Amino acid sequence: MSNLSRSGPELVSGAPFCGAIRAEQEAFFREEQPNTGVAFLVPISDKTGRPFDLATEKFGLGQAMYGGQIGVNVEVSYHRQVGLDFTIRQLGNTGMVHGVILGEPVPYAHGRDQLRSAIPAHKDIDGVNPSSPFFRRRPTPSAMVHIAQQVWGNLSAAKTAVVGSRGAIGSALVCQLEDLGSRPVGIDVHNVGDLHSAVREADVVFTAARSARIITPEMLTGLSNLVIDAAIVPTEEGIVGNVDPRAYEDSRIHSSITPVPGGVGMLNRAMVFENLRSAIGTAQAA
């Protein structure tokens, strides 16, 4: 893919790829599997009773809205740490709940792994339980890969790099790319030299680290690669990604970039419900 003739980058959104997926989901949930339910659990502070992360609450409400559009009842509820593992296990035994999502990030450092493992593997549609069949098919990496396949094409022949490869999203993404026959280069965000080289050499850069603006316009100058940015980093100026927003309007850059916000997010929601479809299909076949 060469965009050297274009002045400035192309901003790519996952939204255009959602239409066909959403239509299939709506047909399935409204016609074949009505009364499907999902529980979205928002962790809240024991002291204030408020969500630890407003972005988590916003994401849950967004999932509820999307679910309503395709015929799935997504119930968003709020929970303190005490008793949350019991609640999760109860939901696992409830026939009206087909998927359980624990809002991330989970703030309870000492009980985080226990809570994730409490989610029944067959209902873990967000893929946070290591024993879940969806652990290698987490929604955000799936959305990133889907966009890359639609824009770039066959990833097995592409040079790929994953920035933040040791994180929850990055590690799952590496697994998905390897399953597709790609050999991604994992990048530690703290090594600026490696980051610069990887971005310059890769055909497709996937990035989901927790640091804002680590990919600068200078790193992308003159390139025509594809950069899939799924990072969500709160700053005083609002939510930003790993790519410095100045790159979005830099005429020296010919890359295709998913902006933050407005890039991967919408397709991420759709991939959650793709896992839900798969979970229901597996349960029916059992």
Using CA atoms, how far residue 130 sits from 58, 109, 119, in Å, is 25, 17, 10
Domains in the chain (CATH in brackets) are 34-119 (3.40.50.10860), 138-265 (3.40.50.720)
Please tell me which residue, 1 or 7, carries the higher pLDDT value: 7
Element (H, E) at 162: strand 160-163
Average pLDDT over residues 79-98: 92
> Residues 136-151: pLDDT tens digits?
999 999 999 999 999 9
At 286, is the pLDDT very low, low, confident or very high (cuts 50, 70, 90)?
low
pLDDT of 244: 98
Query: Over the chain, what is the mean pLDDT?
Result: 92
How does pLDDT run across 229-281, given as a tens digit for each residue?
999 898 898 889 999 999 999 999 999 999 999 999 889 999 999 999 999 99
Angle value at C-alpha 150, between 147 and 154, nearest 5 degrees: 105
pLDDT at 6 over 80: no
Share of the chain above pLDDT 90, in %: 77
d(Cα 166, Cα 286) in Å, to the nearest integer?
34
CB count in 10 Å sphere of residue 133? 15
pLDDT at 4: 52
Q: Does residue 37 sit in helix, strand or coil? A: strand
Structure tokens at 10: 């192309």
268 near 14, Cβ under 8 Å? yes
Q: Is the pLDDT of residue 285 over 80?
A: no
Q: Give the model's confidence band at 3: pLDDT under 50 very low, under 70 low, under 90 confident, else very high.
A: low
Give the pLDDT confidence of 33-50 residue by residue, as tens digits: 999 999 999 999 888 989
Measure the CA angle with vertex 3, ends 238 and 214; round to 5°. 30
Could you count the other beta carbons within 10 Å of the beta carbon of residue 269? 21
User: Which residue do the tokens 């991967």 mark?
Assistant: 264
pLDDT of amino acid 180: 96
pTM (global) more than 0.85:
yes
**Sign of the dihedral defined by the CA atoms of residues 29, 30, 32, 34, in that order:** positive
Please give the Cα distance from 264 to 253 (Å, whole number).
Answer: 20
**CA nearest neighbour of 273 among 157, 93, 101, 144:** 101
